[in-house]
Amino acid sequence: MYDIRERVVKSIFWFIREIMDSLFLIVIEGKENIPETGPAIIVSNHCSYLDAPLVGRIFYDKLMDIKWIISRSNYNLWFLKWFLIMLRPIVTNGTVEKANKELQNGRLVVIFPEGGGMWRIKEKYKKPKPGKGAAVIALTSGAAIIPVGLSGTDKVLPPRSFRLSPLNIIIVHVGKPFKINAVDKEKIDDALIENTTEEIMRHIEALKSDHDFSQIYA
């Protein structure tokens, strides 16, 4: 039986899903790679305000098993706070320990390695440097990693913009799960974290590289 929290969360994401499906042509590839259960770490590129709602739309059937990692600043946004309280995300600060606990409980943990970096840089099209969180969680948990490549969201709704483009094709590619062997905390150093981060981002970038939007958004 649904509790009130589950009803609210699912209703809001259902509403978001219906709006997105009416506004955009969303092509989903790799549906077979969406897991039935956790534990797993879902990692995705991040270059638009649409990205998080879109990931929620793709993993709609798993919503109550998902734990989102979000920044303290986003959690404190007044117009989102009420919903985020219902969503019960992992708020940055002790992130690795909290994420590992959720993974041990069979949850799906969603993290955008690039975080809000796209919103902090001024140079157009410059890529933000990914954070360390996804790599450290992967190294300490050994959980399966599911890469997600989002293509077109930055064209439909560019960073730092609330103005939708009339060009509305978005492609989501859910990649095959892969694993990084768990390592004792004492053996995790900056070089290992950097190499692991690069490996995670390579998987994400490979999913994006299948799609060329230069003609669609010419």
Is 215 inside a domain boundary? no
Report yes or no: 203 and 178 within 8 Å, Cβ to Cβ.
yes
Is 213 inside a domain boundary? no
- pLDDT exceeds cutoff 90 at 198: yes
pLDDT value at residue 202: 96
Helices (H) and strands (E) in the chain, counts: 9, 7
Q: d(Cα 215, Cα 2) in Å, to the nearest integer?
A: 46
Q: How many domains does the chain have?
A: 1
Left (φ > 0), alpha (ψ -120 to 50) or beta: where does 130 sit? beta
| pLDDT, the chain, mean | 88
Is 216 inside a domain boundary? no
Is 65 inside a domain boundary? yes
Is 97 inside a domain boundary? yes
Determine the 3-state secondary structure of 40 from DSSP. Answer: strand
Is 193 inside a domain boundary? yes
The tens digit of pLDDT for each residue in 48-102 reads 889 999 999 999 999 999 999 999 988 998 888 999 999 999 998 889 999 999 9
Q: d(Cα 147, Cα 173) in Å, to the nearest integer?
A: 8
* Full residue range of the structural domain in which residue 192 is found: 4-208
Residues 6+ apart with CB under 8 A from 215: none
The tens digit of pLDDT for each residue in 114-164 reads 986 555 555 555 666 899 999 999 999 999 999 999 999 988 888 777 788
Is 185 inside a domain boundary? yes
Is 218 inside a domain boundary? no
Looking up residue 124, the CATH number of its domain turns out to be: 3.40.1130.10
